[in-house]
A and B are shown apart, each in its own frame.
Chain A
Amino acid sequence: MLLQQIINGLTLGAVYALIALGYTMVYGILQLINFAHGEVYMLGAYLGIIILGFLTSIGLTAISLPLSISITLVLSMLFCAAYGMTIERIAYKPLRNAPRLSPLISAIGVSIFLQNFVMLSQGATDKVFPPILKAEGLSILNARITFLQIFIIIASILMMAGLHLFIMKTRLGKAMRATAQDRKMAVLLGIDIDRVISITFIIGSGLAAAAGVMVAMYYGLVNYFIGYVAGIKAFTAAVIGGIGSIPGAMLGGILLGLLEAFGAGYISSEYKDVFAFGLLIIILILRPEGLLGKQFGERSK
């Protein structure tokens, strides 16, 4: 039972963490809460279903499921990355020197637009994932972990490790940290801020799309509304970890996933949102800057 909840919690937490990263990175650079981020995740999930459905219809999934899933993941991530970058150009960039509330309202507008767009074009009912993923897995002690769960956990860890390396080691990653710490100084050093901001949205949106595809596979269905709930959960995770902190988003996501799994397993799944927001309130009271709070770019020493 305990082990089972840990497995379920890690799976869910990994997904929350991936989405939370997008919130925290954008906040770190622009001090903007990108309310449209949950919708990018939703879009990623839909794309996952559509692409995988297509690959099934041409028979590729029957030949190689791992290859099909990889193609789906990559295509959905690329599309959403381009999408996130475009949203930034159109909806946020023109407001960069406006009062802080303006881009926030713009973000809510984009979010509503996206939800309605998907609802109208894909229908308001649940869309079901092609039934190609069998619930095969392994039994450890008396718990079960499906291959899909293993895939989600490992893929998430790889993406987060990749992001960490990018931020800490590459020139562009360092420029992102520099921009988060002191934007004006970054400009004075010759860093092209527009490019840094674009890359932030590209990465954040790509990760959200990956989360979307994996959740779609995990639960087997999507609807136009999933971005709202997941977005709020992931935002909660980002705040719990300390908004602006990249390790914080990872930690917050995992914690939230575990908490929900334990709450659902031991108390009642009806209350799982209560646990998430209860934890948020406790953190905000006891440690408003979040567990690992401070701008990202923080070096763990």
Chain B
Amino acid sequence: MLKLENIYTSYGPIEALKGINIEVKEKEIVCLIGGNGAGKSTTLMTISGINRPTKGRIIFNGEEIHNIPPHRIVEKGISQVPEGRRILPRLTVKENLEMGAFTRPKNDIQEILPWIFETFPVLKEREKQSGGTLSGGEQQMLAIARALMARPKLLLLDEPSLGLAPIVAGKIFKIIKEINEKGVTVLLVEQNAKAALKLAHRGYVMETGRIVMKENAEALLNDPGVRKAYLGE
């Protein structure tokens, strides 16, 4: 479904991605782990079209997408929940959700909202509150729900459990699994590698802008190097 071929991305003189290859197949959860500054967020931002690769190709469902504008990438079915959630603080919860459906026909909002509120009941309760007043966990739920409003085929999640209490993080992981079972393909970036690998089918390990390992999730969980570096053993 998604293929990154030899992608290079730079911030001015800093080369953050140095020729990475990643593939995500339909219905998979693929996770991307790696230390701080490895280039995980840059990878997602490059897929979303916010950062432009200087070299390489990104192919989504048979189409090159690395040189089309970011809003067109959303239209094609790739939504991202960025690091730090980025809830629009002075829009209400409902308005945040509406903005998630910006690329959809107007009447689509009414069709998808019931399902969203069923999956995230707390958002229904908070519908009229402004986004900035939600707790961290609620904001993460809103961020995911908002991305789902676009009916993505592929969902990019950047550190969704960051800063959340373990119980709340567990809830988020459960929701990710549910979403995937409903047919949404997921590319998950996580610093909580253990939880992510338990959820994922396959994983990539990233170090300083390069992919250094590519395995199915179970193999990564049992790999001594990974255990030492990312699972804290």
Does A pair with B? yes
Q: Given that A189-B146, A189-B150 are known contacts, is A181 also in contact with B90, CB under 8 Å in the complex? A: yes
Contacts of A299 in B (CB 8 A): 90-92, 130
Q: Given that A187-B50, A188-B70 are known contacts, is A174 also in contact with B91, CB under 8 Å in the complex? A: yes
Chain A residue with the shortest CB-CB distance to B75 = A190
Inter-chain contact B71/A191, CB cutoff 8 Å: yes
Q: Given that A174-B99, A175-B102, A185-B82 are known contacts, is A190 also in contact with B91, CB under 8 Å in the complex? A: no
- Whether, in the assembled complex, B42 has its beta carbon less than 8 Å from a beta carbon of chain A, the answer is no
Q: Given that A171-B98, A174-B99 are known contacts, is A188 also in contact with B74, CB under 8 Å in the complex? A: yes
Inter-chain contact B80/A188, CB cutoff 8 Å: yes
Inter-chain contact B88/A182, CB cutoff 8 Å: yes
Most chain B CB within 10 A, of A181, A185, A187, A294, is at: A185
Inter-chain contact A189/B102, CB cutoff 8 Å: yes
Inter-chain contact A184/B130, CB cutoff 8 Å: no
Chain A residue with the shortest CB-CB distance to B100 = A189
Q: Which of A177, A188, A193, A301 contacts B91 (CB 8 A)?
A: A177
- Whether, in the assembled complex, B207 has its beta carbon less than 8 Å from a beta carbon of chain A, the answer is no
Q: Which of A171, A182, A297 contacts B102 (CB 8 A)?
A: A171
Number of interface residues of A (CB under 8 A): 23
Inter-chain contact B102/A191, CB cutoff 8 Å: yes
Q: Given that A171-B102, A174-B99 are known contacts, is A188 also in contact with B82, CB under 8 Å in the complex? A: yes
Inter-chain contact B90/A295, CB cutoff 8 Å: yes
- Whether, in the assembled complex, A178 has its beta carbon less than 8 Å from a beta carbon of chain B, the answer is yes
Contacts of A181 in B (CB 8 A): 88-91
Q: Which of A178, A188, A191 contacts B50 (CB 8 A)?
A: A188
Mark B88-113 against chain A: 1 for CB-CB distance below 8 A, else 0: 11111001001110110010000000
Inter-chain contact B99/A175, CB cutoff 8 Å: yes
List residues 180-233 of chain A with CB under 8 A from any CB of chain B: 181-182, 184-193
Inter-chain contact A190/B90, CB cutoff 8 Å: no
Inter-chain contact B103/A182, CB cutoff 8 Å: no
The minimal Cβ–Cβ distance linking A299 to chain B, given in whole angstroms, is 6
Chain A residue with the shortest CB-CB distance to B86 = A185
Chain A residue with the shortest CB-CB distance to B48 = A188
B binding-site residues for A, Cβ under 8 Å: 48, 50, 69-71, 74-75, 79-80, 82, 86, 88-92, 95, 98-100, 102-103, 106, 130, 146, 150
Given contacts A174-B99, A189-B74, A190-B150, list 4 more A-B pairs with CB under 8 A.
A171-B106, A177-B91, A187-B50, A190-B103
A binding-site residues for B, Cβ under 8 Å: 171, 174-175, 177-178, 181-182, 184-193, 294-295, 297-299, 301
A-B pairs with beta carbons under 8 Å apart, 15 shown: A171-B102, A174-B91, A175-B99, A178-B88, A182-B88, A184-B82, A188-B50, A189-B146, A190-B70, A191-B99, A297-B88, A297-B90, A297-B91, A299-B92, A301-B130
